[in-house]
Amino acid sequence: AARNVGWRATGAPWVCFLDDDVVPGPEWKSALAIDLKAAEAADAAGSQAVIEVPARRSRRPTDDERRTLRLSAAQWITADMAYRRDMLVAVGGFDERFPRAYREDSDLAVRIVAAGGTIVRGERRSTHPVAAATRWSSVRAQVGNRDNALMRRKYGRAWRDMIGEGPGRMPAHAAGTLAA
């Protein structure tokens, strides 16, 4: 809801969303200007930054680290994403039925692409640090499955393909449960 309030309050032609835990690179502002010019030249509706995630190589990653590492390859995350304001108006902005920072960005991108927009990857860089894991991190992360259910309800079984994501872990979990 806060992102919708923010973009609706501005008249700027481009709106850049930057997560509160993301650290923009040292040349971010000038790189953003270059990215937006390139996006305009390509008649694109959005420009996504390159997201870098520091990895710990001395051990296997925790669940939180794996989730955050996937952000560097995610197709449409709004950790550092700029959209044309007119396209946000056209699609109605973020769907507020997504109550947390999970899948709301993919949903917005799917609707923008369905409306004829394209999203290009820019050159600007931001670092997304990994949050410290707690005892309940993995359990808390499962709440995102509710957002997966909303994506399926909105877009059908092929929603993961639409956002460039694999089939998920459900088949492996089901097989493991049945085998037990």
Please write the tens of the pLDDT for every residue from 100-118. 888 899 999 999 999 999 9
Report the alpha-carbon angle 163-124-28, nearest 5. Answer: 135
pLDDT of residue 63: 75
Of the candidates 74, 57, 67, the one whose C-alpha atom is nearest the C-alpha of residue 138 is 67
The per-residue pLDDT for 169 is 59
Helix, strand counts (H, E) of the chain: 9, 5
Does position 170 have pLDDT exceeding 80, yes or no? Answer: no
The better pLDDT of the pair 117, 142 is held by 117
The larger pLDDT score, comparing residue 63 to residue 38, is at 38
Model-level pTM? 0.84
Q: How far apart are CA 10 and CA 14, in angstroms?
A: 9
Hey, what domains does the chain have and what are their CATH numbers? 2-169 (3.90.550.10)
Contact 170, 177 (CB under 8 A): no
